[in-house]
Structure 1
Amino acid sequence: MLSFKRNTFTFLKILLIIGFGYFFWLMLTITLEYIPLDSNVSFLMIKQTEVIERPEYLTFFYTHVYTSIFVLLSGFLAVIRKDFGLKNLHRNMGKVYIFLILLFAAPSGMYMGFFANGGFSSKVSFIILGVLWWFSTYKAYQLARQKRFKEHKQWMWRSFALTLSAITLRMWKVIIVYLFHPNPMDVYQIIAWLGWIPNLLLIEYLITKKHL
């Protein structure tokens, strides 16, 4: 029975890695659309007002896009750490993850939240997301410095749940558009909240049940 549980757990971890690899590749293809720099491609095509009227917008946008892909990868490598005997990798990737979020990805994301599509509701959601993302990451960093590693692990999972909103937001968008064909602006209002709240609720449930 113990062997069966161990094999099942190993199988689930392998599926997790495969699943993450697939979605990471999708996010990487999105990121590569913005290389070389071009303000008339993909998402930026519907943000021309900001591009033209706010010279700093592109700086924040590219900062967010280019750092977030590394945040996603380093975060994943950090959280799977001991399960695969990768303690040193966990420490190094954790430093990269925390550094990029606190200094670049979260601040630029909060700035972009003020100009999110979908009106006031979407703006509020993305700003809250950015604040929680920064705070949970800083809290994880602070607890690691204090050697309170159990709490550090829990806050890192909270942070990574918010990091994964980059993926889950797009998953919800595909599902909602496919099933309901709503107005594009309505989609933004919905996925702005769906992208991160279920992630956080799931992590809180797992922490409460002592699975993390």
Structure 2
Amino acid sequence: MRSTFTNSGQILLIVFFLLMLNITLKYVSFDSDVAFLQIKQTEVTSIPGYLVIFYIHVFSSIFTLLAGFTQFNESLLKKRPQLHRFIGKVYVLVVLFLAAPSGFFIGLYANGGFYSKIAFVLLSLLWFYFTLKGFLAIKKHQIASHKAFMLRSFALAFSAVTLRLWKVILVYLFHPAPMDLYQIIAWLGWIPNLLLIEYYIYKQKNK
């Protein structure tokens, strides 16, 4: 299979990454009331460790998006396999020990009530599972399985982008109530990603 992401796809990834980087840079002050944290003051003040875990999630997640630029490019795999393996190992470590566990914790306190919490907790569990399965597959030299699971993993990592895109679209078109909006985007941010990547994996298997 040739490069998973075409040149146009790579350009889109760069644009989305820069947008997410701009959002992430708002948190470099490590303040307790910046950006999204302004509406999470109950959690910040009453839940021990919430602020630290929130920042772990923010800064570890931005790396997982950056890793996607290198990990699915067939040309890089052939020319720089050692770089691919190194970045891949770092990606796995970041997801398994930082991004997914912190996402699970934050998901327990997600806005939007029970249904939002279920969505974000399930997202973090699947992200952990797919990443671990991809890592174990390559250890067994199961290349196709490794690639499929890592594509699923990155599709969930990319939910950081799609969640925000859906939020903009829904607010612009329908003006939903804030809690309704959180309940919708909690699921819409990642399920379409996973469905699209499953379709892509299916098409590749049946070529």
TM-score (norm 1): 0.91
Q: 169, 173, 180: which one pairs with 2:174? A: 180
Aligned position for 2:34: 41
Aligned position for 2:159: 165
Q: Distance in 2 between matches of 1:197 and 1:146?
A: 29
Question: Do the aligned residues in 1 keep the contact of 2:163 with 2:185 (CA within 8 Å)?
Answer: yes
Q: Distance in 2 between matches of 1:209 and 1:23?
A: 25
Matched, 1:61 2:57: no
Shifted more, 185-194 versus 202-211: the winner is 202-211
Q: Distance in 1 between matches of 2:121 and 2:144?
A: 28
For residues 163-208 of structure 1, the C-alpha deviation after alignment (integer angstroms, 9 at most, x for no partner) is 1100011111111111001111111100100111011111111111
Question: Do the aligned residues in 2 keep the contact of 1:81 with 1:89 (CA within 8 Å)?
Answer: no
Aligned position for 1:24: 17
1:75 is displaced (CA, Å) by 2.8
Aligned position for 1:151: 145
Q: Distance in 2 between matches of 1:96 and 1:58?
A: 24
2:47 partner amino acid: R
What RMSD, in angstroms, separates the aligned Cα atoms of the two structures?
1.7
Q: Name which structure has the greater RCO, CA cutoff 8 Å, separation 6+.
A: 2
1:186 partner amino acid: D
Aligned position for 2:104: 110
Q: Distance in 1 between matches of 2:164 and 2:146?
A: 28
1:83 is displaced (CA, Å) by 6.0
Matched, 1:132 2:126: yes
Q: Distance in 2 between matches of 1:82 and 1:147?
A: 20
Q: Distance in 2 between matches of 1:151 and 1:82?
A: 19
**Could you list the runs of 4 or more consecutive aligned residues of structure 1 that deviate by over 6 angstroms after TM superposition?**
none
Unpaired segments ≥5 residues, structure 2: none
Question: Do the aligned residues in 2 keep the contact of 1:78 with 1:89 (CA within 8 Å)?
Answer: no
Aligned position for 2:201: 207
Aligned residues: 203
For residues 5-49 of structure 1, the C-alpha deviation after alignment (integer angstroms, 9 at most, x for no partner) is xxxx99x71211111111101111111101111011100000000
TM-score (norm 2): 0.93
For residues 89-125 of structure 1, the C-alpha deviation after alignment (integer angstroms, 9 at most, x for no partner) is 2211111110100000000000000000011000000
Unpaired segments ≥5 residues, structure 1: 1-8
Q: Distance in 1 between matches of 2:50 and 2:72?
A: 32
